[in-house]
Structure 1
Amino acid sequence: MLHCTTTIYLKLSRMTMEAGSTVLSYFTAYADVCFREFGSHVKFWTTINEANIFTIGSYNDGITGPGRCSGNCMSGNSSTEPYIVGHNLLLAHASASRLYRQKYKNMQGGSVALSLYAIGFSPATSSKDDEMAAQRARDFYLGWMLEPLVYGDYPYVMRKTVGSRLPKFSEEESELVKGSSDFIGIIHYLAANVTNTKPYFPGYSDFYSDCGITLSNTCNITTSQCAVTPWALEGVLEYIKQSYGNPPVYILENGKSMKGDFQMQQKDTPRIEYLHVYIGAVFNAVRNGSDTKGYFIWSFMDVYELLGGYGPKYGLYYVNFSDTHLTRSPKLSAHWYSAFLKGDTTLLGSQGIAQLQSNFSSSS
């Protein structure tokens, strides 16, 4: 189940608001070059990374490029643009996927998928309103992209609530999108409690007011510090299994950010404990029938993070950014994960982690 594979993101740095046909032709041509030049070495392709969160952040909130929104942005319309862009993203992905299947798959034998950010939603209270709000959150955040990929259209609650602001798939487009993802790429870091806010104040529409919820999440966006909630990941995998026909899933990102000095970074026991319980949650989901094929830790080494820059450290390898050579040093988690992949069960559990830390200190 745990694979070390090569995945390439055909990443759109910016989905413009120009005509959808232009976007599709540009993106498909770009994908064609990537498939042709790298396809002999790549077996897993992800067309667009975090398609749902990218769209919300860029065209509803305006916090990532191109920074469009109805609020404190130079331009934009949060009531319509997220849905238009999301629609174009799905069609661009499906077009690239069709190209691969028609032109390259028989020769290269790879797979093409879309990547989605999956939050583990739970109702804030046991009230019926909050339970319904949690389901709306799943439909708006995950079903928005996943339902067309599996069933060929948007979730009913989105079509009913958003109305004419939500683009419609033609019959041909629906067939193009449906089944266009050979697996589902999942990125998971956080859980969120959901509170119902419907009925909301009339006269203003954006993604959140359409969804009719408020979220209390378990992450500090500024520091990238998230609570340890492995049940949330297990719940996401179970939900995909039950609601979307149990498609193949690869967890493309999951990991823990840590701050501190070099010494603290090296002895990153909290990261090991985090990975231990999250990988356990994945195994639980698989035992319960989830068709989860792989799990990737974010990240191999400390890198630039989109919202946090070089502050948050997710890597198994420490990178000294003050050194012109960018010296890399394995953290305790790198040794633990290497042993785990080799089947060394002696390092599992609290006693095994303590022993690893003792050995690491002695060798250092």
Structure 2
Amino acid sequence: MGVDAYRFSIAWPRLIPDGRGAVNPKGLEYYNNLINELLSHGIQPHVTIYHFDFPQALQDEYHGMLSRKFIDDYTAYADVCFKNFGDRVKYWSTVNEPNIEPIGGYDIGFFPPQRCSSPFGINCNNGNSTTEPYIVAHHLLLAHASAASLYKEKYQAKQGGKIGLTLLCWWHEPATQAPEDIAAAARMNDFHIGWYVLLQFKFNKDS
């Protein structure tokens, strides 16, 4: 295909099946082989650390990203990634689309763990669409900041890579030029994109 870059995601449960603790040697081997094969063909790996695949063991233990415990477990998992792959990976994305998972998993409920509440969600058995998406988004951003801080403090000088997060940048235009429509479109863009971009910019600037 002639590509010189390839983005892929590491599956947390494949690398650390219980979410924390022992690393799966087969998972480690798989990603090492993938990275080495890409580099042997002149293809730069761009690696996403977390992409909608939270370990079931931690979901069962403390309801996943609804708990601040997620931040420490995620950071420890990210440390495993940096330690084992960072000598060859120069582009890291901490979290894939943190502006989507809270909506899909905790507001509308079409993504795992399918938590939501009426009248917002679809087929809701548990959850609270009014509060839980905000809690999850907050914890995802804190997890990003934690992992990025770890990378910058412990690995970046030696490994020479870059780190950020990945957003789904959908865009809203006003239905008409009426002031209320213009304000509504701006509010949606701020809510779905600006919240995350501004916090990441502040973190990168401060650190």
TM-score scaled by structure 2?
0.69
Q: Distance in 1 between matches of 2:206 and 2:100?
A: 18
Query: What's the % identity of the aligned pairs?
Result: 44
Counterpart of 1:84 in structure 2 is 135
Deviations 1:278-334 (A, max 9, x none): xxxxxxxxxxxxxxxxxxxxxxxxxxxxxxxxxxxxxxxxxxxxxxxxxxxxxxxxx
Q: Deviating runs (4+, > 6 A) in structure 1?
A: none
TM-score scaled by structure 1?
0.40
Deviations 1:141-192 (A, max 9, x none): 00121122224xxxxxxxxxxxxxxxxxxxxxxxxxx22799xxxxxxxxxx
2:175 aligns with one of 117, 124, 135:
124
The one-letter amino acid of 1:10's match is I
Name the Cα RMSD after superposition. Answer: 2.1
Q: Distance in 2 between matches of 1:181 and 1:13?
A: 30
Contact 1:94 1:180 (8 Å CA) reproduced: no
Higher helix share: 2
The one-letter amino acid of 2:53's match is S
Counterpart of 1:94 in structure 2 is 145
Q: Distance in 2 between matches of 1:110 and 1:76?
A: 39
The one-letter amino acid of 1:25's match is D
In terms of Rg, which structure is larger?
1
The equivalences for 1:27-46 within 5 A come to 27-46=74-93
Contact 1:47 1:96 (8 Å CA) reproduced: yes
- Deviation, 1:126, is 1.2
Counterpart of 1:164 in structure 2 is none
Contact 2:95 2:165 (8 Å CA) reproduced: yes
Compare relative contact order (CA 8 Å, sep 6+) and give the higher one, 1 or 2. 2
Q: Distance in 2 between matches of 1:113 and 1:25?
A: 18
Equivalenced residue count is: 154
Secondary structure at the aligned position of 2:135 is classed as helix
Q: Are the structure 2 counterparts of residues 18 and 121 from structure 1 closer, same or farther at C-alpha, using a change threshold of 3 Å?
A: closer
2:67 aligns with one of 15, 19, 26:
19
Contact 2:82 2:151 (8 Å CA) reproduced: yes
Counterpart of 1:143 in structure 2 is 194
Secondary structure at the aligned position of 1:45 is classed as strand
Q: Distance in 1 between matches of 2:142 and 2:163?
A: 14
Secondary structure at the aligned position of 2:124 is classed as coil
Counterpart of 1:7 in structure 2 is 46
Counterpart of 1:58 in structure 2 is 105
Q: Distance in 2 between matches of 1:80 and 1:143?
A: 19
Q: Distance in 2 between matches of 1:181 and 1:3?
A: 32
